[in-house]
Chain A
């Protein structure tokens, strides 16, 4: 079985039409593997969010191919894409996007609920996920009663609880102070290293660079640099062995 959970090959994505048409991605090859935290960095408008959306099955590529855990997103309709996300992908959003009327535990449990995992077992798994991010004491607190860092930790617990193969995080530290940002990145690094998941973090926060096993830079819809980070992790080939 391939160690690569996401494989993107020659991905192009054109957004808009006519005069407003933008080639957001111009032939991207990128593979993410388990046990690795990859940072996707680049200036505003470089295409990193578009790439995240394509890798996260929110968008399908205009050309090229994306395979998530062996399932191609080509020609997939909205329900099929949702199914792939449900089965394989966990998301962490910049603005957390927690449900304000539900407790931390219920927010986490929602990720199981949409997968039809319900009852006491789901509740137990949700509490365990909160414990993993150090928030077991805040399980019954509404998001409004949590700090920004705590809310982001709940969001991470929600992304992890269903045991996805890949976690995609969009600017997870941008709304946090340095200490909380470090804490969040440590959790994401643990997610990759200790729980053997592929983690992709889109960021332009230089403070998170030390946490990256791999740093991918994108500019004008093209990957311009793909290098190892400064962590002590064992290194593997950077590109997926397509056709291998």
Chain B
């Protein structure tokens, strides 16, 4: 094994204060980028959580609907036309919308109603930890997430409240169905959803279409599109992408998160560049000695690159540890930070690139070394 790694590590660890300062810079930078990107991923997942859990291959939506929460409505008669098409297994309307939740103690808070016919294969609450989703078929029964108990003034199954002046009773409790907008989701039956949101009987927010297992998706999509008139038909994936695009980029939220991540990269690069440069400057005589001994430029660059890589690996490991703690701490929060293996791998590559790029200044300095200087010292 080459001594370049040994030399790099000794150069790095020789000045411990500078090494610690470098690590702090890298860790700060990587954790900042990790959190920003983790928030981005978490946000991206949250805005599509309903789409992800809806049993739909196709979504029939009001034309131009930007996201699941879009308040526009379509004609519900479309359902009957679509349901009779070849390759279609089911077409189920969905009614959504904001409403008011009045607690027993009199306080009012906004809620987001999600209503589907519980007898059909519509959008049902998932992760039920208490009660039963079948009970929602009965009038006035609702399902709420336990993370919103305090917001809704309830304590579990059996608690009561009023939605739009109508008495409701919690009969099912879910875990982890959180809204990125912090407005609690309330799952109800279709009929109740119309009452709570003021949606006319002939209108629906969307229609969830399930294809038969042997259906040709392209053909079915074309057939459905031909039947829906003014409405729009998207595959689940298309709808997911459109929702993410709207919330992340249409609102500027994604740009803000990316700007934060970029700031982290810049801060990290500057700190590592500065410390690598000053470390190189401190070891110029050694590099000049190597050059005088006849080492190639590549050999000297490899020492600097190894220093950068050591910084990157050690800094990243610490940052990854902090990142995993942050992930655990935010797992139950309104906006959990999501760190996937891919994000981790991308961050590692980014850290390496950042650190190696930071070595460019040091390399430029080393290129100018005159080996003859070792005879003058």
Q: Which of B297, B375, B377 has the most CB of A within 10 A?
A: B375
Inter-chain CA distance A106–B11, complex, in Å, is 14
Does the CB pair B375–A113 fall under 8 Å? no
| Cross-chain contact of B295 among A49, A82, A106 (Cβ < 8 A) | A82
The answer to whether B10 touches A101, judged by C-beta atoms less than 8 angstroms apart, is yes
Can you name 29 A-B pairs with beta carbons within 8 Å?
Answer: A52-B375, A53-B372, A59-B372, A78-B297, A82-B295, A82-B297, A82-B371, A83-B296, A86-B293, A93-B292, A93-B374, A93-B375, A95-B377, A97-B285, A97-B289, A97-B292, A97-B374, A99-B10, A99-B289, A100-B14, A101-B7, A102-B7, A113-B2, A113-B4, A113-B299, A114-B294, A114-B295, A115-B294, A118-B2
Chain A: interface residue total (CB-CB under 8 A): 35
| Complex Cα spacing A119 to B9, Å | 18
The chain B residue with its CB closest to the CB of A114 is B295
Q: Is the CB of B290 within 8 A of A114?
A: yes
Interface size on B, residues (CB 8 A): 27
Tell me whether A89 and B294 are in contact (CB under 8 A). Answer: yes
Interface flag for B6 (CB, 8 Å): yes
A196 CB within 8 Å of chain B:
no
In the complex formed, the residue of B with least CB distance to A95 is: B377
The reply to whether B299 and A101 form a contact with Cβ atoms under 8 Å apart is no
Interface residues as binary, B341-377 with A (CB distance below 8 Å gives 1, 0 otherwise):
0000000000000000000000000000011101101
Question: What's the least CB distance linking B230 to chain A, in Å?
Answer: 72
Contact A82 to B375, CB < 8 A, known contacts A106-B6, A118-B2: no
Taking the closest CB of chain A, its distance from the CB of B1, in whole angstroms, is 6
CB-CB under 8 A from A113, the residues of chain B are 2-4, 299
Contact residues of A with B, CB < 8 Å? 49, 52-53, 56, 58-59, 78-79, 82-87, 89, 91, 93-95, 97, 99-102, 106, 109-111, 113-115, 118-119, 158, 170
B10 surroundings in chain A (CB, below 8 A): 99, 101-102
> A130–B11 Cα gap in the complex (Å)?
24
Chain B min CB distance to A218 (Å): 15
> Are A91 and B292 closer than 8 Å at their CB atoms?
yes
Query: Does B120 interact with chain A (Cβ within 8 Å)?
Result: no
**Given A79-B296, A86-B296, A114-B293, 20 more contacts at CB 8 Å?**
A58-B292, A58-B375, A59-B372, A78-B297, A82-B294, A83-B294, A85-B294, A86-B293, A86-B295, A93-B289, A94-B375, A95-B374, A95-B377, A101-B10, A110-B3, A110-B7, A113-B2, A113-B3, A114-B290, A170-B375
| Residues in B whose Cβ lies below 8 Å from that of A95 | 374, 377
Whether B286 is near chain A, meaning CB under 8 Å from some CB there, is: yes
- The answer to whether B14 and A101 touch across the interface, beta carbons within 8 angstroms, is yes
- Whether the Cβ atoms of A114 and B296 lie closer than 8 Å is yes
Q: How many Å from the CB of A62 to the closest CB on chain B?
A: 15
Residues of B near A170 (CB, < 8 A) are 375
Can you name the residue of chain B whose Cβ is closest to the Cβ of A98? B289
**Would you give the shortest CB distance from B309 to chain A, in whole angstroms?**
18
Within 8 A of A (CB), among B3-24: 3-4, 6-7, 10-11, 14
The interface residues of chain B lying within 8 Å CB-to-CB of A109 are: 3
Residues of A within 8 A of B296 (CB): 79, 82-83, 86, 114
**Once bound together, how far apart are the Cα atoms of A204 and B147, in whole Å?**
86
Measured CA separation A52–B377 after assembly (Å): 15
User: Whole-angstrom distance between the alpha carbons of A111 and B289 in the complex?
Assistant: 10
Q: Distance (Å) between the CB of A81 and the closest chain B CB? A: 9
Shortest Cβ distance from B298 into A: residue:
A79
B291 within 8 A of A: yes
Beta-carbon contact of A114 and B299 below 8 Å: yes
Q: Residue of A at shortest CB range from B14?
A: A101
Q: In the complex the two chains form, what is the Cα distance from A93 to B377 in whole Å?
A: 9
A110 and B375 form a contact (CB under 8 A): no
**Among B291, B372, B374, B377, which residue has its beta carbon within 8 angstroms of that of A82?**
B291
Residue of B nearest to A57 (CB): B294
Closest to A99 in B: B286
**B375 contacts across to A, CB distance below 8 A:** 49, 52-53, 58, 93-94, 170
Give the docked Cα–Cα distance between A86 and B371 (Å): 13
Q: Which of B1, B11, B293 touches A110 (beta carbons < 8 Å)? A: B293
CA distance A82 to B58 in the complex (A): 68
Contact with A along B254-293 (1 / 0, CB 8 A): 0000000000000000000000000000000110011111
